[in-house]
Amino acid sequence: MQRYKTLWAAILIGGLVGGGEFGARAAVGRATEAVRKTVDEAMRIREESEWKRAEKKEERRKLLEQTIAQRFNFLEMSRRALGAEWNKRTPEEQKDFAASFQTLLANTYLGRIETYSGGEKVQYLKEIVDGEYADVYTKLDNGKMTVDIMYKMEMASGDWRVYDVVVEGTGLVQNYREQFKRILRKDSFAELTKQLREKAEHVKAAVPAGADSARSR
């Protein structure tokens, strides 16, 4: 069971992959509806026959990444994950770092969508709002066990956007911050950015091709 939960923490935002049945529509607020909207849109793209064709793979991937980027504030996630080091970097360094971090996180999610087989349920439990911040509590159930996933959100430009994901009490941002700190203690910021870029490209290349078209035949 712990291995399963660790896997969900590692794949970042797999909790957005609802599919199958969704939880009952309890009375929820705007922050929860924002998460649900992204769930619905991602799964619509994922399930629509037009986007399942092998030749549409790259187009679909771009569309899914755009959908994710509208809800996830990758720049803020990058800033928080890098911690104090962020303010030491030039705007160009920050931009380069954030771009690689977005590629890593978004394509981790895309890989989860591409191999999705259904059967998981997402329950939207509650949200707690404190001014411009909100915590949206969800539970993922695959029929054998459940995983608690909480989305930490901030109001930005008139919309709720995710800046951290907490899986079974483990925060994504904090997890990456510790990894980045360990690298920076031994190497330079340039080396950290290089490793992040290489990891991001590796994850992007690992998103399977034709998975859907094979299943749809």
- Extended strands (E) in the chain: 121-130, 133-141, 146-156, 159-167, 170-171
- Beta strands 133-141; 121-130: pairing state: antiparallel
Residue 58, Cβ neighbours under 10 Å: how many? 9
pLDDT tens sequence across 96-121? 999 999 988 887 777 666 655 556 67
Residue 23, Cβ neighbours under 10 Å: how many? 16
Q: Of the given ranges (96-105, 146-155, 203-212), which has the lowest mean pLDDT? A: 203-212
Structure tokens at 213: 């078209």
Q: Tell me how far apart the alpha carbons of residues 187 and 96 are, in angstroms, rounded to a whole number.
A: 18
What is residue 118's predicted lDDT score, i.e. its pLDDT? 58
